[in-house]
Structure 1
Amino acid sequence: MYRAIGVANAFAAQDWDVTVLAADEAVFGVEGTVDLSLSGQVSPGVRVVRVPFTSGVYARDITQWGWMHARHPELWGVGHGLPFPETGFGDWRPKLAGAAEGVHRDRPVDLTIGTASPSVDFIPGWQLKRRHGVPTIMDYRDAWTIDVFTGQRNPRATKRSERWERRFVDAADQIWFVNEPIRSWHAAKYPMAASRMRVVPNGFDLADGVSPAVPFTPRDADRSLTFGYIGTINVGQFPAEPLLEGWRRARTRSPELARARLVLRGHLGRSGVAGETLDSYLRRAAQEGIVYEGPVAKADVAEAYAQFDALVLALASGPGVTSGKVFEFAATGLPVVSVHEPASAATTIMQDSPAWAPAASMSADDVASALIAGAALARQQTAAARSAAVEWGAQWERGRQLEAGVEGAAELLGGQRRGPRSQKERKQ
């Protein structure tokens, strides 16, 4: 959602007339992971059109289920995938297509952008391109038929999803990816479209204009260090066990780490509720000084970062994994300990940081060494060093990252520059 808000705001900032298609607000509360502060981050000039969305896959109140859903959930699921081959979202296709036609009828559209996943979000652009010739951009911040952890075919990809992806790629005038590995994989898969593919990276957001940069304050030598992590904690993606074992070993090797804490903040998976495996992990971690303190609203992240002396960038490993959090971590100016494989795309972001302690591998000893190095950086960092790190991290602000993408989008319309103009003349 951060990417979607950022893209809409970036175009609005360049005087585009932006209309966003979105589900009803109530939909986002179904899983209990809503951050209401994000609504305030949307530019006042952005018009939002709500498109009704229903999906029994996310309906937890069984009293609302129909007979077929309750008695034959497998057959019911197949039926809901008929409009579009994406579990939980396929039914949205006709409503999105209809909403796009309605917007174009009322206020002719010059350009569409779909940001996915879910991949059904590409339907409005595909619809207006094939029906009306409107240029369209695929903002492919994820992948559908390719596994971003390996670069190989996603084993869950179906023949129908492969066909739909090819339709989208064939229709797109530009295709954006968040990093080079994901772009190159898709370029190899669709060589005829490679010239239309480009990297438009993620970045950190200014919450109400406030940077996540942490002001420097002198540290009391007797005060123990607090490491921090802010981000989603997913079983199977968050490197839980390597981090825990590395932290344990660091505590045995370093008196500094023996009295330090690691605070985890963020949502627990997609549901916001820890399952049995994650709950067990958090209980074991708490015995080693790793504590979970709940999610953080986007508007409050700067305040949360200010509670930490260093950060732990714990990511799923894979050459296509960047994570939006790496940019925010970089912007704080705090020392960052990377707990992910060196081949991760996040390495290309952090490698020039003046306050970075990467793990040489995901072995417990290498993770421990990185944590010990991060503690030393936290103790040794001066006001000048913090300032230098903040200055370096400022380059990753999302608006800056998207500038080239917005300018490139204008090329699809003949490279016309947009200055102040009347509502009628503004591009949509």
Structure 2
Amino acid sequence: MPSGPRKRRPRVLYLAYYFPPSRASGVFRARATANHFAEAGWDVTVHTAPREFFETYLENACDPSLEETVDPRVTVVRPPMSYYAWEKDIRQFGKLRRNFPTVAASLYKLFQSKVFPEHYLTWIPGVLSSAVKAHFKEKFDLVIATGNPFVSFAAAQALGRLLKIPYAVDYRDSWTFNQFTEELKFEEGSKAFEWEAKVLRDAAEVVFVNDGMRQWHIDRYPYAAERMTVVPNGWEPELLGESKYDPPATDRPLRFGYLGTVTSYLPLETLFDGWRLAREHPLLRDAELNIHGHLGFFPPDVAPLMERLPLEENIGVHYRGAFSKADGKDLYTQTDALVFCVPGARYVTSGKVFEYMATGKPIVSVHRPDIAASEVLENYPLWFRGSELTPGEVAKSFIAAAEATRAGDSTQHALAVKHAHSYTRAATLGPLEERMRKLVEESR
């Protein structure tokens, strides 16, 4: 008997402004989401920023090796946009801005205050045009948007209403409050809050990276509480591989390492004060603390951050420069224990902690004890943290980690890796994909 018609694959439009080759921190979650849905049998189309935005307007903001890790089944579309907020070359200015710069600036600010308060607003017209054209050629079943920037949320809400399809939004970061300082970013009643309320009112699901952020939004938008979920960040076995137990040689100094972007929010002074104290211990007297990663996200960030690194003190602190995602596996292998230094706030998890756990190596925490990442690390057997964020407590953590590293314990390593496996991208994204598939089936 002839078989029936083949069931059409569900089709998702994924709005992710920051996507490879961008090296922005949120790229890893976006890349993993697109890849996971493609692997699960979805037809995935990603709308992201034009390549020239990362290559020309954001200096040193690309990691070409990341682009190679995007599943070839994922279709990547880069709608055009205006670069008004980033363009510094007067030869590229339009007539109005060239001849009447003050008037142009006033009109631009007025447009933002009345429409949407983000510079990335100029991306929306291209996204809407491209998405609508693609939808009428082959129907999308779902829109997922990840932020920041949050113009992607506005575009998802507009497309959901226009195309009459469900949409979900994924908060990699908070929109209207600063998760590092726990202060509001905008005045009450501002356009940003108006847009956020509208987006959450209509969204089929609202996703957060940790429960603290979810609870903050439940308190503010209780009408969307039942649609709010948590999808933790995770790590990629295909990029890091399986961690093998390999204790450091006894005839060389211990190597501690921080791997990740160094930002102005990090408690660097407490980190280095604690390191100075820890170096008085025999196990750490000749140890190294290697900093691997970019200094900030933009060129002006480099000099002030470099000044905060005590590279001239001869205390074993070294800045080793930036590294690509492809280099990460080797750097983890060369490092004996990892330093998890992040801004202190209850709403901070960080994506790096999941990679750290995947190594099965000791982790030294340098952050407030009540941040969201602590929940993730709670059952990690090689986690060393203080009761408060002070140099003395940081020093104790370094010493305890050094002792654990030198003692060497394959059983502890195996337990650490086992804990990390509950946070692979497949484990964290699997339930989301299943919910989105069910949502599509119910809406068809």
TM-score, normalisation: structure 2 = 0.87
Indicate which of 241, 251, 254 corresponds to 2:279.
Answer: 251
* Structure-to-structure mapping, 1:25-36, within 5 angstroms: 25-29=51-55, 30-31=57-58, 32-36=60-64
For 1:244 and 1:121, the matched residues in 2 are separated by 39
Match in the other structure for 2:49: 23
Is residue 231 from structure 1 mapped to residue 253 from structure 2 by the alignment?
no
CA contact (8 A) 2:386 2:393 kept: yes
Is residue 56 from structure 1 mapped to residue 87 from structure 2 by the alignment?
no
For 2:413 and 2:52, the matched residues in 1 are separated by 42
Structure 1 residue 155: Cα displacement: 4.4
C-alpha distance 409-98 of structure 1, shift in aligned 2 (>3 A): same
* Structure-to-structure mapping, 1:37-76, within 5 angstroms: 37-66=65-94, 68=97, 71-72=101-102, 74-75=105-106
C-alpha distance 2-157 of structure 1, shift in aligned 2 (>3 A): farther
Match in the other structure for 1:100: 131
> How many residues were matched structurally?
413
Aligned-pair identity (%): 34
- Aligned partner of 1:174: which letter? E
Partner SS state of residue 91, structure 1:
helix
Is residue 264 from structure 1 mapped to residue 302 from structure 2 by the alignment?
no
Is residue 302 from structure 1 mapped to residue 329 from structure 2 by the alignment?
yes
Structure 1 residue 79: Cα displacement: 5.0
RMSD of aligned Cα (Å): 2.2
Is residue 220 from structure 1 mapped to residue 249 from structure 2 by the alignment?
yes
CA contact (8 A) 1:96 1:123 kept: no
- Aligned partner of 2:67: which letter? S
Per-residue deviation, residues 351-385 of structure 1 (Å, max 9, x unmatched): 10011101221111011111111111111122333
Structure 1 residue 161: Cα displacement: 0.7
* Structure-to-structure mapping, 1:3-402, within 5 angstroms: 3-29=29-55, 30-31=57-58, 32-66=60-94, 68=97, 71-72=101-102, 74-75=105-106, 77-79=108-110, 81=112, 84-155=115-186, 159-206=190-237, 209-211=238-240, 213-235=242-264, 237-252=265-280, 254-272=281-299, 274-284=301-311, 287-402=314-429
- Aligned partner of 1:193: which letter? A
C-alpha distance 248-144 of structure 1, shift in aligned 2 (>3 A): same
* Structure-to-structure mapping, 1:416-427, within 5 angstroms: none
C-alpha distance 312-89 of structure 1, shift in aligned 2 (>3 A): same
Per-residue deviation, residues 244-264 of structure 1 (Å, max 9, x unmatched): 111111113x12222111111
Q: Which moved more, 1:267-276 or 1:160-169?
A: 267-276
Structure 1 residue 130: Cα displacement: 1.2
CA contact (8 A) 1:84 1:91 kept: no
For 2:66 and 2:329, the matched residues in 1 are separated by 14
- Aligned partner of 2:358: which letter? A
CA contact (8 A) 1:145 1:157 kept: no
Q: Which moved more, 1:385-394 or 1:18-27?
A: 385-394
TM-score, normalisation: structure 1 = 0.90
Structure 2 unaligned regions, length at least 5: 1-26
Q: Which moved more, 1:397-406 or 1:123-132?
A: 123-132
Match in the other structure for 1:421: none
Structure 1 residue 109: Cα displacement: 0.8
Structure 1 unaligned regions, length at least 5: 417-426
For 2:150 and 2:242, the matched residues in 1 are separated by 34
- Aligned partner of 2:375: which letter? T
Higher relative contact order (CA 8 A, sep 6+): 1
C-alpha distance 34-219 of structure 1, shift in aligned 2 (>3 A): same
Structure 1 residue 210: Cα displacement: 3.8
For 1:285 and 1:139, the matched residues in 2 are separated by 43
CA contact (8 A) 1:251 1:257 kept: yes
Structure 1 residue 8: Cα displacement: 0.9
Structure 1 residue 285: Cα displacement: 6.6
Partner SS state of residue 404, structure 2:
helix
Q: Which moved more, 1:267-276 or 1:367-376?
A: 267-276
CA contact (8 A) 1:117 1:140 kept: yes
C-alpha distance 65-369 of structure 1, shift in aligned 2 (>3 A): farther
- Aligned partner of 1:52: which letter? P
Structure 1 residue 164: Cα displacement: 0.9
CA contact (8 A) 2:35 2:74 kept: yes
- Aligned partner of 1:59: which letter? E
For 2:267 and 2:189, the matched residues in 1 are separated by 29
CA contact (8 A) 2:147 2:172 kept: yes
For 2:241 and 2:275, the matched residues in 1 are separated by 26
- Aligned partner of 2:231: which letter? V
For 1:390 and 1:168, the matched residues in 2 are separated by 39
Q: Which moved more, 1:378-387 or 1:326-335?
A: 378-387
CA contact (8 A) 2:278 2:399 kept: yes
For 2:246 and 2:188, the matched residues in 1 are separated by 51
C-alpha distance 62-304 of structure 1, shift in aligned 2 (>3 A): farther
